[in-house]
């Protein structure tokens, strides 16, 4: 790798940090993408690279089975890097802007059917403190379709037990009100009146869901709890932290909810984001038809 290239990338990242205040994770992604690119260039000066060389770099990634999403991100990085080069008069043209973004395959979310969800929700042992807390969290997650981050971020003043509603601050600081349903409300009240009160012993903590360490439970800790219960009840699917959110949306649509209502409950800014769940519902309906219709 040409050391001059490495120095240029360092300058680029420093300017990005100063100008845009990007997070370390974002800067690390840029650095990783550009490191792969510089390795491909070997000792060739990055400012002499043309469109053909960049296309061969992307083709090499395709041959190594990098995903379309990953390659699209790399192209975006190259475009930004070479535009910076133009702005700094290091190069006269940005050949990366002529790279064609790969078509993104819109993957369907991993799905749990209603029986599997019931098994998962019934897994915690509610005779224990941890089990009761986990039961309340799982029931609330499935009843509201919250993101896991939104769930663990809930504070006491976000929950209206009398009306059975939670106030959620979602992406883009957009607030929404979501009903929690009878089951979630029942176990949430039990948890607040017993486990939470016992663990905190009068300590002030605004987060609704806490750990035995007397502070809010983290997203990672709760995700480990979910994986524990998934294994315990023998669900063999590779689920994600969003799985119960996906199940919430899919099962609502399967039972006749309209798309606009589901969009509002999920906090999607555009209904087009919510339409992916209609595909899952259609798949489910096709499976039911094939299984039960005499002429299928």
Residues with catalytic roles = 147, 171, 242, 245, 268, 277
CA distances from 197 to 150, 204, 205, 244 (A): 22, 10, 10, 27
Do 156 and 226 form a contact (C-beta atoms < 8 A)?
A: no
Within 154-275, where are the H helices? 181-193, 195-200, 219-232, 243-254, 259-266, 271-274
**Which strands form 175-179's sheet, in the order they lie side by side?**
159-160, 165-169, 175-179
Q: 194 CB contacts (<8 Å, ≥6 apart)?
A: 129, 132
User: What dihedral angle (degrees, nearest 10) is formed by the CA atoms of 24, 30, 35, 38?
Assistant: -150
Neighbours of 258 (CB within 10 A): 9
Pairing of strands 175-179, 159-160: unpaired
């Amino acid at each position: 790798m040409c050391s001059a290239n490495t120095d240029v990338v360092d300058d680029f990242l420093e300017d990005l940090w100063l100008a845009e205040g990007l997070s370390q994770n974002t800067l690390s992604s840029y650095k990783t993408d550009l490191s792969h690119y510089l390795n491909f260039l070997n000792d060739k000066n990055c400012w002499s690279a043309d469109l053909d060389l960049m296309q061969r770099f992307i083709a090499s990634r395709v041959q190594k089975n990098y995903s379309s999403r990953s390659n699209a991100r790399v192209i975006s990085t190259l475009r930004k890097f070479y535009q910076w080069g133009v702005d700094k008069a290091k190069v006269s043209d940005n050949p990366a802007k002529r790279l064609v973004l790969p078509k993104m395959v819109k993957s369907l979310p991993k799905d749990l059917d209603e029986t599997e969800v019931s098994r998962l929700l019934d897994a915690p042992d509610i005779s224990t403190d941890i089990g009761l807390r986990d039961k309340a969290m799982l029931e609330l997650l499935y009843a509201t379709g919250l993101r896991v981050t939104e769930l663990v971020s809930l504070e006491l003043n976000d929950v209206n037990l009398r009306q059975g509603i939670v106030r959620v601050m979602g992406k883009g600081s957009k607030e929404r009100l979501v009903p929690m349903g009878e089951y979630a409300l029942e176990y949430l009240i039990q948890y607040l009146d017993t486990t939470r009160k016992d663990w905190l012993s009068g300590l002030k903590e605004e987060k609704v869901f806490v750990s035995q360490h007397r502070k809010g439970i983290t997203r990672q800790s709760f995700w480990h709890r979910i994986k524990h219960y998934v294994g315990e009840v023998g669900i063999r699917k590779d689920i994600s932290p969003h799985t119960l959110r996906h199940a919430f949306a899919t099962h609502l649509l399967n039972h006749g909810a309209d798309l606009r209502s589901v969009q509002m409950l999920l906090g999607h800014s555009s209904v087009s984001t919510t339409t992916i769940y209609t595909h899952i519902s259609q798949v489910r309906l096709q499976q039911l038809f094939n299984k039960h219709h005499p002429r299928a």
